[in-house]
Structure 1
Amino acid sequence: MDTELIAAVHARRAAVLAQTPEDKIARLRAEGKLPVRERLEVLLDTGSFREIGLLARSQLPELRERTPADGLVCGSGSIAGRPVYVIADDPLVLAGTRGRVAEAKTARVRALALAERAPLIVLSEAGAARLQETRGALAAGLGGGFAQHVRLSGRVPLVAVMLGAGFGGPSFQASISDVTFQVRGTGFIGMSGPKVVKVGIGQEVTAEQIGGVQMSAETTGQAHVVGEGDAETLRAVRRYLSYFPAHSDELPPRVPARPAPCETPEGAAALAALVPENQRRAYSAHRLLELVADEGSLFELSAAYGRSMVTALGRLGGQVVGFVANNPAQGAGALTEKTANKQRRFIDLCDAYHIPLVFFTDTPGFLVGPEIEKQRMVSLCGRLMNSLLSASVPKLTIVLRKAVGMAYLAMCGRSANPALIAAWPTAFFDVMGPEAGVMLLHDKEIAAAPDPAARKQEILAALAAQAAATEAAALGLIDDVITPGETRQRLLETLARAAGGERPGFRHRIDP
């Protein structure tokens, strides 16, 4: 081939890579951010990135020389040796807005991810439509990328990373991804940014107020993992993907088993002492999972949202599992509208990628009252039950203490057909909490007694005996009563038996 042609190609590539002014890069670094290509260096295995569309530019003559790669860096690479595809906004090109050529690049990458069944990671900063190229009747053709994204859902892992302002389209795309990572202080999620809010309703708001971590991770739960800075967040993405298969036709990767803290004498003693017999005393579900799971294997999702429940990926004997645990350290472990959303979405995620679910139950029931009803709690519980009862992955349930009413079913009670349902000696089962049950059924008897307080305690003691874990086992309603020290081994044995029935394949999309 003509050497001049080859040289011209190299020159054009070099020109694109060198086009961003150093002062813009310096300003970006001053904000604590990395340039787009450095972000990919952190995310991907060294030297693995192969760019698609490097020479792309805007179709508009007046923008052609100002839009290297049309403001979007995308292509293939690998994470821990496994292929992935990535789409990354360049905030230094017209504020990261996307033109029609950039949208064509994203369509190409999504199509390749689907055809090759590889995870897709989207790094968003701005990334909304470029007004110069989409205004007027051209807007009638918007939205094709969302349809493509939905077709990928549940087939390959979809990861959204909000590294900067991502109001509008990028936030919509994040909502239909499997998981959303958000950088504290610089990443924002929302329908509209401050300028649009000001024009639309005349209200002054900041990006932090409308779409920062407090709103997105704590109030709405739309961000599932919060990172401190670009590099930490991107390294967390690498770790997250280590729990998932490359696509739904594979099972999750197994790693060599690591011992759990509860397998040491000190850890076994800590686990045995963790759950107080006094039902009113709290303990940390985080500590429970740290003791039972393979050491260092936990990866929590939605940590700041619905804190009375913990949802975390982890490993047991090297096998990936999804842990769902009531957390009495927050709100007594009661189920709320936030925990219903959180649990339902986590179940769907694990079921789509063949990750067994392990439930640790200790809940006094659903939160009640007018405020919770305003949140459509009945419908939210219906959606949760639908996901739980439809999930085909192995489900294992350990009841630690309180298993009350419909909340017990929501935590994978017997009627959810778990592969194992066992209880610790501290567990009890009832349709409602003992205090409420006594007052509803025996209020007149207690009031008429010579010593009402003493009579109430007598009735409570009798009910406690009827509700004990040993009584549930005697009735054949649970498989066994086990000690804390036996818990991990029973989980490992059940997972090993259930593995014979696992069949990979597409199951369903991940509903927002």
Structure 2
Amino acid sequence: MAISKKLADELEQRRAIALAGGGQKKADERHAKGRLTARERLDALFSKGTFQEFGLHAKHRTRHFGMDKKDIPTDGVVVGTGFVDGRPVAAFSQDFGVVGGSLGEIHSKKICHTLDHAVKAGIPVIGFNDSGGARIQEGVGSLAGYGQVFYRNVQLSGVVPQISIIAGPCAGGAAYSPALTDFIIMTRENAQMFICGPEVIRSVTGEVTTMDEIGSAKAHASISGNIHFIAESDEHAIALAHRLLSFLPSNNMQDPPHKVEPDLSVVDIPALDEIVPEDPKAPFDVREVIKLLADDADFLEVQELFAQNIVIGFGRIGGIVVGFVGNQPTVKAGTLDIDASDKAARFVRFCNVYNIPIVTLVDVPGFLPGVKQEQQGIIRHGAKMLFAYASATVPKITVIMRKAYGGAYLAMCSEDMGADRVIAWPTAEIAVMGAEGAANILYRKEIKEAEDPVAKSKELIAEYREEFATPYLAAGELMAHDVIQPRETRSAVALSLRGLMSKRETRPPKKHGNIPL
């Protein structure tokens, strides 16, 4: 039976209402603030013409506190799938122009449907968070909706990558959904994320604060560590999501998007010989090492502003996607503290679940000393790194560039913690503690009785380095598998990665380990 003009017209009319969302006026208001609408964000995310929408006509129908008198196109959220660089991706985009993007029963069902589809299809999920929070007119039903979303975020974790883009308000319980995902990108302007706002904090605790201090992208990127990237605009946030996806597999059963060269290029990088200063206390920027190792110096740093004493991120070596973890000597001398341990451990676990090899660059004098560090649980937090590396079964390659002292040496993926390949530079020092401290303990009497204690101390420190901390001693006991010139590092790592691509390693059967949280 042919579709009558009346039915066709009704369909087009309903489509037009849904596609209009909150209307042109609200769209213009967003554009005036440099923001995209919910649909414009999805249009920018996906390749042109590939977006397939779910639930265009879905909207709340139950009568709650006068909501029956409101028209809520798409129930305030646009969901569906499309293609990003030729790969299918699921997405949802909350529409602040429709009842503030508030979450109600149908709104949450649409998001849940998208997440369910993503896990069945084995494809990544990107969520644009821009919502006034729970739709209070729907009462506890809206809280149930959040619970259903959270539950699925957890079910998808470690199965398909989840990326959250905070492009507007994300307050109260709503903030927990992005927190359960793998990566959070937040726009610098027009976005806020918090549990309790400044007014609530003041009324309950008496503390006076501002939104910039507790809910801004800058605060979350540098202080709380809740987010991974700051975007300057909606468009920039989408570009960051594209770049992030370029390093990730679609699901945990696939390999990352390697670009393996048919003929591996094995060449020296002479600039690496000049990286480590002659003065063992002088700092150097580990990012320079990473860029010299990575193909075309292409390195996507993650959490750049948080716990800057350790550097993490993605790149490729010989076409193989890797996760880099490196101590940063320019910040806190590269020591491991609570925040650095948390940052590195979570990144290692992410790489492991998505089959991404890990390259660890070591120059660590130890865990950061301090009363606050001890009282706030540096033992527990440092143990996260030990747990993360020991439980990881992906290829693990460790390069000891300079200092590797004490428990921090183990926490940076030593041979005993499961590294498949440990490479040391001639400048490496592998020891229980730093040469100065060790020499002053071992040779205290000799130094005290010397005619020139300072000169004697320097002599014995050098002797200790030569006898107890040399990389050749570690190599002799197979704690390091080779000692090489820095210039040879890229070739050595590339060859090791290529040889480890078929690595298979299992752990004892169990539900999961009990990481010291």
TM-score of the superposition, structure 2-length normalised? 0.92
Q: Decide whether aligned partners of structure 1 residues 92 and 205 sit closer, same or farther in structure 2, where only a CA change above 3 A counts.
A: farther
SS in 1 for 2:501: helix
Alignment partner, residue 59 of structure 1: 61
Tell whether 2:225 aligns with 1:221: yes
| Matches of 2:347 and 2:9, distance apart in 1 | 52
Conserved? CA contact 2:51–2:81, under 8 Å: yes
Could you give the per-residue CA deviations for residues 401-428 of structure 1, whole angstroms, max 9, x where no partner exists? 0010111111111201211111011111
Conserved? CA contact 2:103–2:142, under 8 Å: no
| Matches of 1:27 and 1:366, distance apart in 2 | 50
Alignment partner, residue 375 of structure 2: 374
SS in 1 for 2:82: strand
Q: CA deviation at 1:186?
A: 2.5
Q: CA deviation at 1:256?
A: 5.2
Alignment partner, residue 279 of structure 2: 278
| Matches of 1:436 and 1:78, distance apart in 2 | 57
SS in 2 for 1:500: coil
SS in 2 for 1:189: strand
Q: CA deviation at 1:226?
A: 1.3
Q: Decide whether aligned partners of structure 1 residues 414 and 139 sit closer, same or farther in structure 2, where only a CA change above 3 A counts.
A: closer
Alignment partner, residue 486 of structure 2: 484
| Matches of 1:371 and 1:179, distance apart in 2 | 29
Alignment partner, residue 307 of structure 2: 306
| Matches of 1:472 and 1:349, distance apart in 2 | 30
Equivalent residue in structure 1 for 2:168, among 161, 164, 171: 164
Q: Decide whether aligned partners of structure 1 residues 31 and 262 sit closer, same or farther in structure 2, where only a CA change above 3 A counts.
A: farther
Could you give the per-residue CA deviations for residues 36-69 of structure 1, whole angstroms, max 9, x where no partner exists? 1111111111111111111122335543543111
Alignment partner, residue 32 of structure 1: 34
Alignment partner, residue 15 of structure 1: 17
Tell whether 2:248 aligns with 1:244: yes
Alignment partner, residue 464 of structure 1: 465
| Matches of 1:413 and 1:19, distance apart in 2 | 55
Alignment partner, residue 113 of structure 1: 118
AA matched with 1:308: N
| Deviates most, 289-298 or 387-396 | 289-298
AA matched with 1:486: E
Tell whether 2:97 aligns with 1:96: no
Tell whether 2:79 aligns with 1:78: no
What residue ranges of structure 1 are gaps of 5+ in the alignment? Answer: none
Q: CA deviation at 1:454?
A: 1.2
Conserved? CA contact 2:81–2:88, under 8 Å: yes
Alignment partner, residue 418 of structure 1: 419
Aligned length: 508
| Matches of 1:93 and 1:120, distance apart in 2 | 22
Q: CA deviation at 1:206?
A: 2.9
SS in 1 for 2:305: coil
Q: Decide whether aligned partners of structure 1 residues 378 and 462 sit closer, same or farther in structure 2, where only a CA change above 3 A counts.
A: same
Same amino acid, percent of matched pairs: 32
AA matched with 1:332: A
| Matches of 1:261 and 1:166, distance apart in 2 | 47
Tell whether 2:208 aligns with 1:207: no
| Matches of 1:150 and 1:510, distance apart in 2 | 16
| Matches of 1:321 and 1:226, distance apart in 2 | 22
Q: CA deviation at 1:331?
A: 1.4
Q: CA deviation at 1:166?
A: 0.8
Alignment partner, residue 429 of structure 1: 430
| Matches of 2:343 and 2:145, distance apart in 1 | 34
Q: Decide whether aligned partners of structure 1 residues 367 and 19 sit closer, same or farther in structure 2, where only a CA change above 3 A counts.
A: closer
| Deviates most, 109-118 or 149-158 | 109-118
Alignment partner, residue 410 of structure 2: 409
| Deviates most, 441-450 or 177-186 | 441-450
Tell whether 2:299 aligns with 1:295: no
Conserved? CA contact 1:345–1:510, under 8 Å: no
SS in 2 for 1:456: helix
CA RMSD of aligned residues (A): 2.6
Could you give the per-residue CA deviations for residues 59-81 of structure 1, whole angstroms, max 9, x where no partner exists? 35543543111111111111111
SS in 1 for 2:18: helix
| Deviates most, 386-395 or 14-23 | 14-23
| Matches of 1:442 and 1:432, distance apart in 2 | 14
Q: Decide whether aligned partners of structure 1 residues 503 and 460 sit closer, same or farther in structure 2, where only a CA change above 3 A counts.
A: closer
